[in-house]
Structure 1
């Protein structure tokens, strides 16, 4: 995997601790508003630039975690959500304050498995105590630094280089382990009411690019052209990928010896918790009358009358199970209003608009509570009886054949 991604680095701490000043110093230019007035930064703001001697990054400037009032609580909530986005966190302290606001942040870093650095800032105004670095609260930090306007930021850059995980720089491949140089990949892409005018949906574009990046040949066609194309050309693709909504049509059209999966399942493996998806999908068959299913739609889009997550999947699952089920839909990264234990199943979209870390943290409460999770494409394959074929191209050796029907 080549270094082709900009890592996200989040700056966290109380108001007026110098978070924005640090961003400006790292950037070597004034890109963040600096003011003596606490609360100048109100919402997480992403700033892309290059740190000299390090490389391109996206720094996330956040509101202070000691903000007050009703509006302040909302700002703090957004700051905590920003942790889901970052590959590395930097916690800014001043005046030896290592109390409840800092403890809350550290707990969230550790819960989400985000590596973090601690910087005691404004050393010119209040020097850090000798025992601060030894405080058990920051024992898990990847580094502790002291900083003032007179200090160089080079030690901070060096600490970032050492602390940031290699995965922050890489984008895993969708298909690289499934195809080889010169293979033909057939992409079945229906153009329906949900397709954006004049464009293709993001997972289709990502798959086309990944095929090309792996020096393979990509053929794109609509579902109704598939049979005639294969019959007329005699081409035997190394892999076929379909939109999940036309899985039954693709299954009937693509010869059984040709591996078949869907764009959504490719994204499930790339970004989602694929092993838990595999284990959780069969729970669809165990749903009972009155069970509640949570649909996590991690983007916002125009909702059509036959929307895949809000209409089609619930309809297919009700028909497949014959049960009276309730479905809740939560879009974007909005809060889940019901307790997670109210749900018997969670179905996550492919997550093309969010990061892998955001998606995993989105699913974490359900997984920790023992609630089965699955993915749009895998759920569709299950209810149409083609699940085993849809996941066959991937390594599912951790499950027995009896567990994948």
Structure 2
């Protein structure tokens, strides 16, 4: 036996037929050719954990896998986040703060701002986010995203989530919103996001946090590194009336019932028309463009596998440590995968390889989450009150992240 992160596991040997995961570990999963896994461990009712080795082009990758049975009424999943969009915390802390039995990291995020000296990185995610049915944010323009290049046909609006019907599904969430006053009605271009479309107005609420809103006016729709806009304006609306204005975006916590409107270029010019005391109505919602079923939780990333078929154009050259999520059985079974970042496994998998792995594990649809130093899987060991990290993060310790997928199980 070898000891890994405080728990015992059976040492693995790469073979050509994988049988263990066809059993209790991943109930109903198809055997994956070229990999072998340990017998599964029940983390909690409806939640099983196992490990497997995956032969890949650049060496063997080691994966940690959670199988979540959404048919079990005791089981649910939700978005974990630190209480603000522009904030980060380790996955273990996010899980323990909500008493989750297991979790993985979530969406790609604004991790650095080397191209914009003096501008604070926000830590906010790229894509839309919904937690416990509450809309937290919308997506940034495609050209403003952090992370690897998007596969052809995908956008920053793509999400994976679970609907109010308790079924996992892929979808796309677009922002639908407006700013209305006596001066007119203008479309809303952003909601609690670190980058606004050129010429637009964005809304920031108490969900944003206290981080500076300046980053929202930097870059362009096609170039994240482009200079910050020199034509900006900010208006604070409190309980439906304008209470203050400023020539540049500010920082600080936003009180409940207050909305800060940030405009750039044409959006700034529109906001300058508003006067102190003027009534302003701000409306926003995320529209599910693929289904009429509301999401209970949703996280950004990008799809890799749709209806059992890999998306065309998936990268098959760049190997890395990855996090992925998939589902099967009509969205009733969720599969969470995190690769190990220990030195002997750090070569990882390409996006094409991790897609093939998710398909071999039985997923009909699969979605890529943030990887590299962000990849983290945690779970609560039997008898423990807190979670422990199951994989080795490639940076040597957990990286603080803005959100994750939490797994909850009663009993």
| Superposition TM-score, scaled by structure 1 size | 0.21
The structure richer in helix per residue is 1
Which protein has the larger Cα radius of gyration, Structure 1 or Structure 2? 1
The structure richer in strand per residue is 2
| Superposition TM-score, scaled by structure 2 size | 0.21
